[in-house]
Amino acid sequence: MAEFKTITKPVMKKDAMQLVTGKPVYTDDIINQDCLIVKLLRSPHASAIIESIDTKIAQKVPGIEAIYTYKDVPQVRFSNAGQTFPEASPYDHQILDQRVRYVGEPVAIIAGESEAACLKAMKLIKVKYQVLEPVFDMHTAKDNPILVHPEENWRTLSYDFYKSDNKRNLVSHEEDSHGDLEKAFAECDEIVEHTYHCKANQQAMMETFRTYCEIDTYGRLHVISSTQIIYHVRRIVSNALQIPKSKVRVTKPRIGGGFGAKQTSISEVYPAFVTWMTKKPSKIIFTRKECQIAGSPRHEMEMKIRVGATKDGHIKAIDLYVLSNSGAYGDHGPTTVGLAGHKSIPLYTGGMEAHRFTADVVYTNIQSAGAFRGYGAPQGIFALESAVNELAAKLNIDPIKIREMNMLKEGMHMDAYFHEDATACALDRCMEKAKEMFDWDNKPDCVDLGNGKVRSKGVAMAMQGSCISNLDVGSATVRLTEDGGYLLVIGAADMGTGCDTVLSQILAECMDCDVDDVEVMSADTDFSPYDSGSYASSTTYITGMATYKAGMKLKEQILKISALKLNKPIEELTMESKEVVAPDGQSISLVDIATASMCFNDIPTTVTETHTSPVSPPPYMVGMVEIELDKETGEVEVKDYVGVVDCGTVMNENLARVQTEGGIVQGIGMALMENVTYTKKGAIFEESLMNYKIPTRLDMGVLRTAFESSYEESGPYGAKSIGELVIDTPCPAINHAIYNAIGKFLYEVPFTPEKIVMAQDE
Amino acid sequence: MEIKIKLNGKLIKEDVDAGTLLIDWLRAHKCFSVKRGCETSNCGLCTVFVNDKPVLSCSVLVARANGCSVTTLEGLQKEAEEFGAYIANEGAEQCGFCNPGFMMNAIAMFRENPDPTDDEIRAYLAGNLCRCSGYEGQLRGIKKYLQYKKGE
C-alpha cells in the first residue's frame, strides 16, 4: 500500500487544545447572553386535542415577552428529519399543533427575560385537553382505527419508495429479496427462528439540544445551533416559519456530541419563531429531562428472523421482518429500518442463495425516534448475529468457523446490498486478527470461577455503509492563503469526531504540505459550500473526496499562475511542497504565487469541488468479548473487548481508535443497561441520567482495538467509514457470551440482571 | 444577600439571589468552561474547586461558597494545557463538552494521589461521564501524563 505523509498519522485535532482548556466555543458560550429565554410548555397526555388554551394571565408575568400557541404558528406541515430533498420522512410536524401526540410534546412557546419568568408564566397557562385514547402498542398500530395523524394536511414526498400512509398509521413499508427463499429454506437442515427486540436508546450526548437566534444586519434570521446539518436546518426552519430559505442563515459552532441526535431539528424552530416574530435575540437550552422525553432516540425495533443452514454449516437463506416504532412523528422512520436489513444480511453473502427483507414502520403515541449511530443496523445485526450464534450452537459448529465459511469476501456481489460489489473487504482478516488478539481458540467457552461467577466469551461481526449512495453531496472550498498555506471551508459538521482535522489531513496529503498549513472553517450556510451534513458515516468518504478534488483543482490554478510568472509552459512545471519548480531549476514559492494572485490576476485561487457517490462501500468489524456473569444476581461485567475494524485506509490512527472505543462503549451501554420504559400513560420513566444509565469508566473493562485495512478505490486515499459501524457488535457478542455462561440466548436488549436470572430459571 | 468569593484569584463582592446555583453564577461571570450536562448531579461536567476541593457546581448554592475561593478551569490554564495536551495527543477529547469537568477532577486526583493505579483512576473519575470517547483514550492520556510527571 502507498506510503502517506499526513493521513494515517495520529495528528492532534485542530481544535483539541481549545477544547481541553475549556475555551468558550459552544453555542451557549458564544452568543449574546442578554437574549430572550425560550421555554416550552409540554403536554402531560400522550394523545389529546387542545380544547382551549388561555395565556392571558401568563402574559402578565413581569418579563414575559410573548407566548405562542398553535393558533399563532403557520398551519403547515414539515419534517424535522435532516435528510436530502425530497425527504423520505413524512411532512407531519407543525411548530405547535392543536393535537398533541406524545407526553412531552410542546403546547406553548414562552419567551421572557429570564428563565424564572418563563417558568412562572408556564404555570399560569390554562389548557383544557380533550384526552383521547392513545396507540402505544406497535404491534397493533398499523391499520388501527385510532390514528396518530388523522389530519388532512399530512403529506409525504416519497410515497413511491415508502408507501407512507397516515390513514394506516404507516410511516413506511419496504420489501427487498433475491432468490427462491422457500426452496433455499427447504434445503436447510437447521433453521433458527426467533423474534428479537431492541428498545429505544437515548442519545445522551453531553451537550443538550440548544439553539440561539438573532436578526442580522440585513434583517435575516441567523440561527446558531448545535447541529450536524446546517443546510437541512435552514430548509426546515424555512418550511416551518414559511419564510424564504434565503432569509435564514445557519451557523454551527463546536457541538457537544451528536451521534445522530442533531441530525434532526429538535430545538431550532422554537427560538427561530420567537426571534422572527419579536425581532429580538432568543435562545432555548433543553434540559436533560427534555432531551430524554422529547429528543431523538433510537427506533425501538422488533426483528422476526429466520436463518437456515445445512448440517455442515452452509447458510443458505435469511428471512427478516422488522417492525419499527417511529413514535409520534416519522423522523428518519422510513430510512432507519432499511439498515436493519441492508446492513446485516449481506454479511453472509458467502453462500446465501436467497433472502427476504420486509419492514413496517408505524406511528404510535410515544416520543418520536430519530437518527442514532448505527441507524437501524445495530438492531438488525443484533438479531442476525444472535441467530447465527444460535445456529452454530445447534449445529455444533464453532461460531468462528461458521462465519468463516459463509462471510462476505472481497470481490463478491452483494444481492442484499443494493447489488453492489464488495470492492474492498477485509472482514476475513478482521476475524483472523481478532481471533489472534483475543486468543479465541485457547479460551474455553465458559469457565466457572468458583465464586458464583462464570467467565465466558462471545463473538459478532458487523458492517455499515460509507454514505447514502446516489444521494449524499459533500463539497469543499479550498483557498490559497497569503502565507502559502490553505483555508479549507466545509459544510460538514465536526461533532467531536474530528472531521475538521481528517479533512485537513486529506488536503495536506494532496498538497504535500503540513497539516498545520491548513486552516479549516465550518460550518455556516452563508459561507460553506453545500454539504448534506455529517451523518451516515459519510464525511470522510464523501466530503473527503470533495476535499481531494478541490485540492487537485487548486493545484492546477497554482500552476497556471506559476506558468505566467515563470514564463514557462504549464506542462513543464511541477508543484512541490512549498513551491512550483521548472526543469531548469527556476522556482516560485507559494507565498509569491499567493501574493501575485492579488495583483492584476484573473485566475481564481479559491476553488470549490463537489462529490457524490453511486455506491456506499461498507466498512466491516469483528467484535469479541469476555464477560464475567454472576449467576445469582445476573450481573454481567465486561472484562475484555477486542474490536478489529476494516474502515479502509485509517485516516487518523488516534481518531479511528477513539471512534472504535467510543462506539464499543455505547454498544455496551445498549447491551447491558440503557433502557427506556413507559408509564401506563405513556410517559418515559428514565427522564434523567440518574435512572437512564449510560456506561461510566467502571462499566467497560479493557478495550483492545486493531485495524485490518482494505483499500477502497472510490474513497479518498482508500478510505471508507468508521463512525457508526463500531456500535454494532456489542449486543450480539455479549448475548453470545451470556449464552456461553448460562446456556440460554436472550432475545431483548438490554440484557438486564433480571432477564438473565429469569432466563436461567426458565 | 451579599457574598464574597475569590474567583480564580480575584475577589468578587456581590449581591445575589439566595437561590442562585454556583454553576449559574460562574457562567454569569464568564466562566464558560463550566458546563451543565444534567440536572441530577450525575454527569460531572460542572466540576469546580471550592477551597481546592472538587464539587459539582450544579448542586451547590453560590451562597455556600461565600467566603471561599472558587477555581474553574479558567483559573488553571497552565495545568489544563500541560495535562490537556496528553488527552489531545490521544484524540480523547472528542466533542470536548465533558472535558472541563473531567480536567478539574483529574487535576484534583493528581493533587490527592500523584501515583494512582488504573483502578484508582477509574474509581476517582467514575462520576465524570463521557459519551464520545469510551474512556480508554482518557486513561491512556492520564497514564502518559503521570509517567511524564514522574520523570520531571
Interface contact B125-A697, CB threshold 8 A: yes
> Do B118 and B79 belong together in one domain?
yes
Mutate to test the interface with A, among B25, B76, B93, B139 (most CBs of A within 10 A): B93
Of B72, B106, B130, which marks where a domain is finished?
B72
Interface contact A206-B95, CB threshold 8 A: yes
Q: What is the pLDDT of residue A224?
A: 98
pLDDT digits (tens, 9 = 90+) for A324-339: 999 999 999 999 999 9
Mutate to test the interface with B, among A29, A34, A206, A373 (most CBs of B within 10 A): A206
Q: What angle do CA A194, A199, A202 make, to 5 degrees?
A: 155
pLDDT grade, residue A3 (50/70/90)?
A: confident
Neighbours of A372 (CB within 10 A): 29
Q: How far is A695 from chain B (nearest CA, A)?
A: 8
Q: Average of pLDDT values for A621-625?
A: 98
> Do B139 and B87 belong together in one domain?
yes
For residue A251, the surrounding DSSP H or E stretch is: strand A248-251
Mutate to test the interface with B, among A15, A17, A18, A21 (most CBs of B within 10 A): A21
- Chain B residues whose CB is inside 8 A of the A16 CB are 84, 87-88, 91, 93, 96
Q: Which grid coordinates are listed for A26?
A: 459552544
Domain A16-23+469-611 fold is Aldehyde Oxidoreductase; domain 4 (3.30.365)
Integer Cα distance of A519 and A2 in angstroms: 26
- Chain B residues whose CB is inside 8 A of the A663 CB are 134
Q: Chain B residue with minimal CA distance to A29?
A: B32
Mutate to test the interface with A, among B8, B36, B38, B83 (most CBs of A within 10 A): B38
pLDDT grade, residue A2 (50/70/90)?
A: low
What is the CATH number for B12? 3.10.20.30
Q: Average of pLDDT values for A513-528?
A: 97
- Dihedrals φ, ψ of B87, to 5°? -70, -45
Please tell me if residue B140 touches chain A, with a CB cutoff of 8 Å: no
Of A496, A689, A690, the CB nearest to B94: A496
pLDDT digits (tens, 9 = 90+) for B39-77: 999 999 999 999 999 999 999 999 999 999 999 999 999
Q: What is the pLDDT of residue A468?
A: 96
> Do B101 and B146 belong together in one domain?
yes
Q: How far is A752 from chain B (nearest CA, A)?
A: 20
Please tell me if residue B81 touches chain A, with a CB cutoff of 8 Å: yes
Interface contact A207-B97, CB threshold 8 A: yes
pLDDT digits (tens, 9 = 90+) for B123-141: 999 999 999 999 999 999 9
Of B72, B96, B119, which marks where a domain is finished?
B72
- Dihedrals φ, ψ of A420, to 5°? -85, 160
- Chain B residues whose CB is inside 8 A of the A722 CB are none
DSSP state of B76: G
Q: What is the pLDDT of residue B51?
A: 98
- Dihedrals φ, ψ of A180, to 5°? -95, 95
Q: How far is B76 from chain A (nearest CA, A)?
A: 9
Q: How far is A705 from chain B (nearest CA, A)?
A: 11
Kindly give the interhelix angle for A377-395 and A399-406, rounded to the nearest 10 degrees: 110
Q: Average of pLDDT values for A60-89?
A: 97
Residue labelled with grid coordinates 453492489: A420
Q: How far is B135 from chain A (nearest CA, A)?
A: 6
pLDDT > 90 in chain B, percent: 99
Domain A31-132+209-285 fold is Aldehyde Oxidoreductase; domain 3 (3.90.1170)
Interface contact B32-A205, CB threshold 8 A: no
- Chain B residues whose CB is inside 8 A of the A290 CB are none
The C-alpha torsion from A535 through A538 and A540 to A546, rounded to 10°, is -110
Interface contact B74-A22, CB threshold 8 A: yes
Q: Which of A33, A74, A58, A119 is nearest to A277 (CA)?
A: A74
> Do B96 and B124 belong together in one domain?
yes
Q: Which of A406, A414, A384 is nearest to A319 (CA)?
A: A384
> Do B133 and B84 belong together in one domain?
yes
- Chain A residues whose CB is inside 8 A of the B73 CB are 21-22
Q: Average of pLDDT values for B107-126?
A: 97
Q: Is the pLDDT at A251 greater than 80, yes or no? A: yes
- Chain A residues whose CB is inside 8 A of the B123 CB are 698
SS3 content of chain A, % helix, strand, coil (to 5): 30, 25, 45
Of B73, B94, B103, the CB nearest to A662: B94
Please tell me if residue B94 touches chain A, with a CB cutoff of 8 Å: yes
pLDDT digits (tens, 9 = 90+) for A659-698: 999 999 999 999 999 999 999 999 999 999 999 999 999 9
Q: How far is B51 from chain A (nearest CA, A)?
A: 20
Q: What is the pLDDT of residue B152?
A: 81
- Chain A residues whose CB is inside 8 A of the B72 CB are 22
Inter-CA distances, B98 with A688, B94, B127, B131, Å:
17, 9, 11, 9
Please tell me if residue B98 touches chain A, with a CB cutoff of 8 Å: yes
Q: What is the pLDDT of residue A661?
A: 98
Q: How many domains does chain B have?
A: 2
Q: Is the pLDDT at A231 greater than 70, yes or no? A: yes
Interface contact A22-B73, CB threshold 8 A: yes
> Do B147 and B86 belong together in one domain?
yes
Interface contact B134-A665, CB threshold 8 A: yes
Q: Average of pLDDT values for A131-142?
A: 98
* CATH tag, A300-466+616-761: 3.30.365.10
> Do B49 and B80 belong together in one domain?
no
Q: How far is A536 from chain B (nearest CA, A)?
A: 17
- Chain B residues whose CB is inside 8 A of the A203 CB are 131
> Do B80 and B141 belong together in one domain?
yes
Q: How far is A665 from chain B (nearest CA, A)?
A: 5
Integer Cα distance of B46 and A144 in angstroms: 47
Burial class (CB in 10 A: 0-12, 13-18, 19+), A104: buried
Between A and B, how many CB-CB pairs are < 8 A? 187
What is the CATH number for B107? 1.10.150.120
Range of the domain at B11: 2-72
> Do B107 and B142 belong together in one domain?
yes
**Secondary structure E strands in A380-438:** 413-414, 420-421
Interface contact A206-B32, CB threshold 8 A: no
Of B33, B83, B122, the CB nearest to A22: B33
Interface contact B96-A256, CB threshold 8 A: yes
pLDDT digits (tens, 9 = 90+) for A341-378: 999 999 999 999 999 999 999 999 999 999 999 999 99
> Do B61 and B94 belong together in one domain?
no
Q: What angle do CA A409, A410, A416 make, to 5 degrees?
A: 65
Interface contact B97-A206, CB threshold 8 A: yes
Interface contact A697-B87, CB threshold 8 A: no
Q: What is the pLDDT of residue A761?
A: 87
> Do B79 and B147 belong together in one domain?
yes
Of B41, B72, B103, which marks where a domain is finished?
B72
> Do B62 and B99 belong together in one domain?
no
Q: How far is A757 from chain B (nearest CA, A)?
A: 27
Cis check for the bond before A271: say yes or no (omega within 30 of 0): no
Task: Show me where the domains of chain A are located.
Answer: 16-23+469-611, 31-132+209-285, 300-466+616-761
Residue labelled with grid coordinates 445445512: A310
Please tell me if residue B133 touches chain A, with a CB cutoff of 8 Å: yes
Inter-CA distances, A480 with A433, A516, A555, A566, A608, Å:
43, 14, 10, 18, 12
Q: How far is B133 from chain A (nearest CA, A)?
A: 4
pLDDT grade, residue A762 (50/70/90)?
A: confident
Q: Chain B residue with minimal CA distance to A693?
A: B42
- Chain A residues whose CB is inside 8 A of the B93 CB are 13, 16, 19-20, 496
For residue A323, the surrounding DSSP H or E stretch is: strand A315-327
Q: How far is A664 from chain B (nearest CA, A)?
A: 7
Q: What is the pLDDT of residue A1?
A: 52
Q: Which of residues 103-132 of B touch A (CB under 8 A)?
A: 103, 122-123, 125-132
- Chain A residues whose CB is inside 8 A of the B122 CB are 697-698
pLDDT > 90 in chain A, percent: 99
pLDDT digits (tens, 9 = 90+) for A161-179: 999 999 999 999 999 999 9
